[in-house]
Chains A and B, each alone.
Chain A
Amino acid sequence: MKAVNTVELLRLRGAVARVPGRSFGPFDVALSTGERVAILGPSGAGKSTLLRLMAGERPAHGGEALYESHPLAAWPAQRLAQRRAVLPQSHAVAFGMPVELVVGLGRIAREPDPQQAHAVAGALQAACAAHLVGRRFDTLSGGEQARVQLARVLAQLWDVRDGLLLVDEPLAALDPGLQFELMDALCSFVQTRGHALVAVLHDLNQALASFDRLWLVQDGRLVADLPADRSALAPLERLFGIQLRCIDGDDGRVAVLARRGTPASTGTALAA
């Protein structure tokens, strides 16, 4: 379901990320408001690196990374933070802060911020973390910490429209029931506000169930940009070297059952 008037939010044009001993890219991607994209690929393929390039956390060597047509590096941190939030993979927070302070940090670019209490409370509710208020962040379990961090980025974009949310494996540490609940919460959050959502995921069914497009990453390259439907299954099989059996869901979405096996052609066909 796309918004009626979509505007281009983010574009990578020939962007390359260099880490010691390796380079990722060049990546060419474009993203508009209201779009939901899942980044999939084997471990170490460069999913998180692609996300960091889009976040401006890694400089784009060669090529460019644009947000609303301006180079990411030229955006003042404070203004960018008012329209774009990033949820990194690691959740460590120093100094034993209480949950509500951690979530409130998402609002720091807006001081003074009359919406603070409202946004923090709403975000905690949406991320199923309202019961954790008053607890120290560093005493929470991994799954609870993940929810609080999710609440922090929701609070950051609580009262804006047409922003961008970049998340790196937001549901990895959660039990299955909560995964469904939080994915629904995340989707309705971005849908009602017209935000674009880009998520690095490991779970194929989450990607197929809740996203519009799939970006497949392999060996540091973007090898495919597909709609999240039945047509994505063959490329996914080749990407992971597995067999997928398709199950049709009630809502028109497809779900898959992954099995060990050799797909007809290996991943090399995709990379070529």
Chain B
Amino acid sequence: MNTATATDAGGAVMPRRAVTLAAGPALVLALLLALAVAVQLGAVPVATSDWWVWAGDAPATGGAYVLWELRLPRALLAACVGAALGLAGALTQGLFRNPLADPGLLGVTSGAVCAVALVLTVFAASAAAVPMGWRVWVLPVSAFIGALAVCFALERLARWLTPGSVAGLLLTGLALNALAGALVGLCTYLATDEQLRSLTFWTLGSIAGANWAVVAVLAAALAAALWQSRRLAHALNALALGEAAAAHVGVDVAGLRLRLIVVAAVLCALAVAWCGLIGFIGLMAPHLVRGLAQGDHRRVLPLAMAAGALLLVVADTVARTVAIPAEIPVGIFTALLGAPMFLLMLRGMARQQGGHA
């Protein structure tokens, strides 16, 4: 691997390199700690002995059941979804060369939610016609199509209407968000009572529907996305130079863009399909680690995954335990945390630009 040699050009950066190298293990350790705490907290206490009862053994009861069938899959799903959103955010920001380009703000996740809403209500009849065994895939696939459609529309529209402008990109995202919101509203209006309940679940975002199968699917998808993004990481670094300059150093920019869009859309769609709209993780996670990784996407991408997982595990644990026995949708917490952070980042960017003018 020549990831090490890339930063070997000078010896003066040793202290920062040490921080960069320690960041990965530290984040993973924090994530494991958060997972351990998350499964302990809740209305039903979990004893140490419950850890030694496998879920497959004789009908588990009490603490063991709560641990193996509820809390552990839920905590792991939170980690997977957080990682997916963190990675999707880092990829989107790399694609648009902007740290504020969050898939949620740009309307990508809204597009997925919108597609899900349409399938749940307007196309409920045709969705019911899908054979039982395949039905579990209807929502993920429709979410993927919705996310992909918004990604492509955004890319084309922003490039056409306001080439190169960050404000233009975010405003285009705002418009697409509003459009998706209007369609979701229309679906809400047309929905029956039962449809309305599942629709509300999607738009608020929750990890309550966790089970081992979903965790397995997401973990597999995440592994594939990480493998794919490792190959894209250095090209993504070159993209930071600008599209023309990236092409001149040998990056197939059109191909890179297409792959980034598809991977980001898959990640957003998987997150939305099972957990609904969970905002701002894709904005916060990469922002928290970018300084540690010195902007190098070969480090930013995996670290953003770890940070996203950590954020969502913590947020979900709080959402689940702060008002026992009631449970607050986690999407509300991430938005409460993320929106002020977005404003802080905006201020930071404005300051930086002001300083250089």
Contacts and interface: CB of A to CB of B under 8 A. Distances in A.
B241 A105 contact: yes
A113 interface: yes
Interface stretch (A80-88, A192-200, A240-248): A80-88
B248 A81 contact: yes
B345 to A, nearest CB: 13
Contact of A98 (B13, B98, B235, B241): B13
B248 A86 contact: yes
A133 interface: yes
Contacts, number: 117
Contact of A108 (B5, B9, B235): B235
Contact of A101 (B16, B294, B352): B294
A77 B6 contact: no
A90 B242 contact: yes
Interface in A45-73: 52, 55, 57
Interface residues of B, number: 37
A85 B248 contact: yes
A106 B234 CA distance: 11
Contacts of B240: 93-95, 97
Nearest to B355: A139
B237 A101 contact: yes
A77 B9 contact: no
Interface residues of A, number: 45
B251 A108 contact: yes
Interface string A112-134: 11001100110010000000011
A76 B273 CA distance: 38
B9 A121 contact: yes
Given A94-B97, A104-B6, A82 B12 contact: no
Nearest to A85: B248
Interface of A: 52, 55, 57, 76-82, 84-86, 88, 90, 92-98, 100-106, 108-109, 111-113, 116-117, 120-121, 124, 133-134, 136, 138, 152, 156
Interface of B: 2, 5-10, 12-13, 16, 94, 97-99, 234-235, 237-238, 240-242, 244-245, 247-253, 290-291, 294-296, 300, 352
* In the A-B complex, the 7 residue pairs with the closest CB atoms: A109-B250, A81-B250, A133-B10, A100-B9, A95-B295, A97-B295, A134-B13
9 contacts: A77-B250, A77-B252, A78-B252, A88-B242, A93-B241, A94-B97, A98-B13, A100-B6, A100-B13
